[in-house]
Amino acid sequence: MIKPRYFSIPYVVWMAVFVVAPVVLILVYAFSTPDGNLTLSNFSEMGKYTPVFVRSFLLALISTVICIIIAYPIAYILSREAVRVQRVMLMLIMLPMWMNFLLRTYAWMSILENTGLLNRLIGFFGLPQLRIINTPTAVVIGMVYNFLPFMILPIYSVIMKIDRSLYEAAHDLGANTFAVFRRLVIPMSLPGVLSGITMVFVPAVSTFVITQLLGGGMVMMLGDLIEMQFLGTAYNPQLGSTISLVMMAIVILFMYVMNRFGQGEEKAVGL
């Protein structure tokens, strides 16, 4: 009889080939020269791209905050609706994700460009035209639109798991609706918020398709910089690997802090 642990062999092989091996290659390239010698000069050369790091994390943070502001009320209201309404609304939230990522971003190009649908609508009312395309604002709009479902769904799933009897007990003890929301729903839904933050912030900080299409190459982020080192005219895989390694380390540190914060909040609310 085959032992149960043998069934994990395909997964282990998959992880080794497609996860561990690429990370090892990044480490090798980051600490080596084109001749294969050991060096740390790649890290010092990376310093001139500090503005790109700052811009990437700032735009990703702004997009994540906007996603929270939009997603939390939607998730909460959705959790209070009837089951039939929830199913329809969840389908509408998931529907754009069934469309190709590039097509969704191209659609926003036709909306935000100088002669696009938005400016045509504004011009119809005699208002001044907006210059949004090829700006950081357009990049943030694209990231919020594409990553918003990844914020809504974790928050919604956690709120739905809150025992309904807790609402009744809170009201029986004299708490009004706002107090129940502030002292019960928000603390207990925090794990979903933290999960949503991770699922939005991590892809946002490393995106490059959105910046290329909606930023028009005018808003360089880490994803664009890394792609340029591997596929662009400034071919330098050693520097690209170094930037990837530092970005990965920062993201892992961010996720660790968020998880520690989430564990502390869970203990505070008695989960």
pLDDT tens figures, 125-154: 888 889 999 999 999 999 999 999 999 999
Looking only at Cα atoms, what is the longest distance across the chain?
77
Is 99 within 8 Å of 177 (Cβ atoms)? no
- Bridge partners, 38 (sequence order): 32
**Short-list 189, 181, 206, CA closest to 265:** 189
pLDDT at 188 over 70: yes
What pLDDT score was predicted for residue 266? 55
CA dihedral 81, 85, 90, 92 (to 10 degrees): -130
Share of the chain above pLDDT 70, in %: 96
87 token code pair: 């199913």
pLDDT tens figures, 78-113: 998 999 999 999 999 988 888 888 899 999 999 999
Is 215 within 8 Å of 139 (Cβ atoms)? yes
What pLDDT score was predicted for residue 98? 87
- Say what angle helices 83-94 and 50-79 make with each other, to 10 degrees: 160
pLDDT at 271 over 50: no
Instruction: Return the domain boundaries, the chain.
Output: 49-269
pLDDT at 57 over 50: yes
Q: What is the pTM of this model?
A: 0.87
pLDDT at 218 over 80: yes
Amino acid of residue 120: R
Provide the mean pLDDT of the chain: 88
The domain made up of 49-269 has a fold known as MetI-like fold (1.10.3720)
230 token code pair: 């591997």
80 token code pair: 């209070």
